[in-house]
């Protein structure tokens, strides 16, 4: 981990690794969007068992992709 100086304050380059993974950001956004959309739909009407199962499957798949990415690249926050 390198140390740099900005405005006379020491800073580590750790922040660069967190901000540099666009794929992590995309997967996080995909999961958040899916969860938000699911909340909106359930506020409008009651889901059937099949619909609820499909939402659950989609959420598990999105979460699985994010976790797999984190394990592969080590860029989790």
pLDDT tens digits, one per residue of 10-68: 555 555 445 568 889 999 999 999 999 999 999 999 999 999 999 999 999 999 999 99
C-alpha–C-alpha distance, residues 71 and 69, integer Å? 5
Predicted pLDDT at 21: 84
- Per the CB < 8 A criterion, the answer to whether 30 and 68 are in contact is no
Predicted pLDDT at 34: 94
What does the DSSP 8-state code read for residue 5? E
* Cβ count near 62 (within 10 Å): 19
Place of tokens 């409008």: 44
Q: What is the pTM of this model?
A: 0.68
Cα distance between the two ends of the chain = 17
Domain chopping of the chain, boundaries: 21-73
Tokens linked to 3:
């140390």
């Amino acid at each position: 981990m390198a140390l740099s100086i900005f405005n006379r304050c020491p800073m580590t380059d750790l922040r660069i690794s967190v901000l540099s993974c666009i794929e992590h950001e995309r997967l996080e956004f995909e999961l958040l969007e899916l969860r938000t959309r699911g909340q909106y739909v359930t506020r409008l009407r009651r889901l059937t068992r099949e619909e609820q199962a499909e939402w659950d499957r989609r959420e598990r798949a999105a979460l699985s992709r994010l976790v797999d990415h984190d394990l592969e690249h080590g860029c989790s926050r």
